[in-house]
Amino acid sequence: MIFPPVSTLHEHRAHRKAAHDDPERYWLTYAHALDWMQCPSKALDAAGLWFPDGRLNASVNCLDRHLEMRGNATALIWQGEEESHVLHLSYRQLHAQVCRMANVLRDHGIMPGDRVAIHLPGVPEGVVAMLACARIGAIHVVLFGGFSPEAIADRLADSGAGVIITADVGRRGAKRIPFKATIDAALDHGAGTAIRHVLVVAVTSETVPMTEGRDRFLSPLLSAASDLCTPEPMDANAPLFLLYTSGSTGKPKGIVHGTGGYLLWAAYTHALVFAHTPGDIFWCTADIGWITGHSYVVYGPLANGGTILLFEGMPSHPRPGRWWQVIEKHRVTSFYTSPTAIRALMTEGDTIPKRYDLFSLRVLGSVGEPISQEAWGWFHATIGGGRCPLADTWWQTETGGIMISLVPGAIEARPGAAAFPLPGVTALLLDASGRILEGEAEGMLCIAGSWPGRALGIWGNDAHFHATYLRPFPGYYFTGDGARRDRDGYFWLTGRVDDVINVSGHRIGSAEVEDALAMEPAIAECAAVGVPHALKGQAIVVFIVPNGPASDDIQARAARAVTTRLGRYAAPERVYVVTDLPRTRSGKIVRRLLRKIASGDIEGFGDLSTLANPAAVTILIEAMRREASSA
């Protein structure tokens, strides 16, 4: 069975109604779009588990079941940084590679339920490693390439991973990114990790130090391994992966996704939003270190038997237009990227994309941040030639897949709006006191009930999941985002309403940045806020109160504290040295005021008498005025 096409408004309504009126029947029916080792007899149980008695294997769904009909069809096209580095892997070849890698992992003692960390640049081995874990029931933990060694050490310790798969180096333009050295530093740093083996993909011929007894190059192990590997039958609610993401507390959370519900949601949403048909060449530009890479580079499109494109390089290297040239060269049909990338590419103008034949494109998508009407319009007109539907897709690591989006053909687009909840998603707007807002309104975006892609919990801390998502508005899943609904029911996302900062589509908690700053002895107090940024969406601005007289390099030290602890992606845009921070009488720093001041909005503060130290605000405003007039 395949997912039904939803290409008219009538069909869209019918699906939403069916999923709403009888979710049990709707999802049990569409569960048959997957291959089960034991078919589920129930969709959702009273404990909130999806397909509780189903058993399946995710790698079988992404590979084996396509072998008979599409064994020689291309599963993966890899375009390397260098033009001549191209690889086409058929389903049969990808299957063989995954089996080899799975056997290597088994040989290293990996059992079902064990965690395997993956820290790789944009090479095919990333996809292979994820599916290899799935094949033997191991839980993959993909770690973003931009994390610092300390950030990696934290995640290795929290997940308890026993094996890590990494690369010698990554290629980024002319630069070499030290993957292996980062892992070495993480392991030196993190005494708390359980890593026994480091398996290294040789991306280049550069030599890297190898620790005897711990580190091994993968390629000889893969060549020696069998290309057949019996897949492990997994409970639908056995964890498929952990993925770390940031929230309003300091410590990043390992979001746990299960096997059955997650895979169904990734596949269903991919089929619906990208109107997937056989022969499509699907390019999602996300790094596999983020959820978008999990659901739409790997699981969704491969479960649907599509062809995925993996690109190692950057949008404008060695010259502007590189992405468009990749689309032309590989006849990409479906292209999914982020507003940050679109904004950057827009600044290069229209003449560059116009040099390329982009007629293979059929559908476009955007994810990760609110997209402005201007960026939407440019992407739609200049890249999509005005003929490709452009879906702004709203979702989160925790939701597993797309939740609110345009469904091409069925819904008319409104530039900048994420449009409507998908079938099975009941999105609501609540006011601060938890009342449901009807009709045209703006409020906090919540989801009522469950959907198959919903995360199982937070690794090692289910109470935390409950407290973060379910306690703020009892009875609903709270997203942390604000949204507006127009009079026709379209949703327009307005950004986070909590203390999460979205820098170029990367989630960073203010508390995470503040915890990093607090490690620097020269800093007595600090606060981090997000401010609007023309290219990055948001940027991090930091306020610090020095411990005693400020040294000349205190700003640099503050920035270094953050990049050392988290990674370069979290580098503060600006660091202000101040004498005091505005606080409530109970001692809480009022970030709302700091955000306003840091955004350059220094008028209209209203009544500050509820603050313990209103003078702190006046002093800050004065400092900003001085800076503005001297700039």
Q: Please report, in angstroms and rounded to a whole number, the separation of the first and last CA atoms in the chain.
A: 63
Enumerate residues 417-456 that contact ligand WTA by CB under 6 A: 418
User: Would you count residue 338 as binding ligand WTA (CB under 6 A)?
Assistant: no
The one among 121, 370, 546, 572 contacting ligand WTA by CB under 6 A: 370
The one among 50, 144, 290, 376 contacting ligand WTA by CB under 6 A: 290
The one among 396, 468, 504, 510 contacting ligand WTA by CB under 6 A: 396
Question: Site map for ligand WTA, 506-545, x if CB under 6 A?
Answer: -x--------------------------------------
In the complex, minimum distance from the CB of residue 492 to ligand WTA, in angstroms, rounded to a whole number: 9
User: Would you count residue 341 as binding ligand WTA (CB under 6 A)?
Assistant: no
Residues 6+ apart with CB under 8 A from 301: 270, 276, 280, 282, 284, 307, 308
Q: Which is nearer to ligand WTA, 180 or 343 (CB)?
A: 343
Enumerate residues 469-498 that contact ligand WTA by CB under 6 A: 479-481, 493, 496
Enumerate residues 300-329 that contact ligand WTA by CB under 6 A: none
Note the helical H segments in 306-357: 322-330, 339-346, 351-354
Size of the site for ligand WTA (CB under 6 A): 22
- Amino acid code (one letter) for 37: M
Q: What contacts 24+ positions apart, CB below 8 Å, involve 553-562? A: 554/522, 554/523, 557/520, 557/522, 557/523, 558/517, 558/520, 558/523, 558/526, 561/516, 561/517, 561/519, 561/520, 561/523, 562/513, 562/516, 562/517
User: Would you count residue 394 as binding ligand WTA (CB under 6 A)?
Assistant: yes
Q: Which is nearer to ligand WTA, 54 or 452 (CB)?
A: 452
The CA distances from residue 211 to 125, 167, 199, 208, in Å, are 22, 14, 11, 10
Choices 144-152, 263-271, 312-320, 362-370; region in contact with ligand WTA by CB under 6 A = 362-370
Choices 69-77, 85-93, 200-208, 363-371; region in contact with ligand WTA by CB under 6 A = 363-371
What distance in Å separates the CA atoms of residue 380 and residue 350, rounded to the nearest whole number? 12
With the CA atoms of 345, 298, 304 and 492 taken in that order, what torsion angle do they form, in degrees rounded to the nearest 10?
Answer: -50
Enumerate residues 223-282 that contact ligand WTA by CB under 6 A: 245
Q: Which is nearer to ligand WTA, 337 or 397 (CB)?
A: 397
Q: Would you state the structure tokens that stand for residue 532, as one six-digit string?
A: 């609007």
Q: Which is nearer to ligand WTA, 79 or 396 (CB)?
A: 396
Which helix (H) or strand (E) segment is 234 a member of? strand 234-235
In the complex, minimum distance from the CB of residue 494 to ligand WTA, in angstroms, rounded to a whole number: 8
Q: Which is nearer to ligand WTA, 248 or 277 (CB)?
A: 248
Choices 58-66, 159-167, 222-230, 284-292; region in contact with ligand WTA by CB under 6 A = 284-292
User: Would you count residue 291 as binding ligand WTA (CB under 6 A)?
Assistant: yes
Q: Which is nearer to ligand WTA, 89 or 529 (CB)?
A: 529
Beta strands 115-119 and 139-142, pairing class: parallel
User: Would you count residue 369 as binding ligand WTA (CB under 6 A)?
Assistant: yes
Q: Which is nearer to ligand WTA, 343 or 557 (CB)?
A: 343
CB 66 within 8 A of CB 91: yes
The one among 368, 384, 453, 567 contacting ligand WTA by CB under 6 A: 368
Q: Which is nearer to ligand WTA, 79 or 338 (CB)?
A: 338
CB 376 within 8 A of CB 390: yes
Q: Which is nearer to ligand WTA, 248 or 316 (CB)?
A: 248
Residues 6+ apart with CB under 8 A from 93: 75
What distance in Å separates the CA atoms of residue 326 and residue 531, rounded to the nearest whole number? 34
In the complex, minimum distance from the CB of residue 325 to ligand WTA, in angstroms, rounded to a whole number: 27
DSSP3 helix / strand / coil % (the chain, rounded to 5): 35, 25, 40
Q: Where are the beta strands (DSSP E) in 132-226?
A: 139-142, 163-167, 170-172, 175-177, 197-201, 215-217
The one among 158, 392, 512, 520 contacting ligand WTA by CB under 6 A: 392
Angle between helices 91-107 and 124-135 (to 10 degrees): 60
What distance in Å separates the CA atoms of residue 310 and residue 76, rounded to the nearest whole number? 7
Residues lying near ligand WTA in the complex (CB under 6 A) are found at 245, 290-292, 367-370, 392-397, 418, 479-481, 493, 496, 502, 507
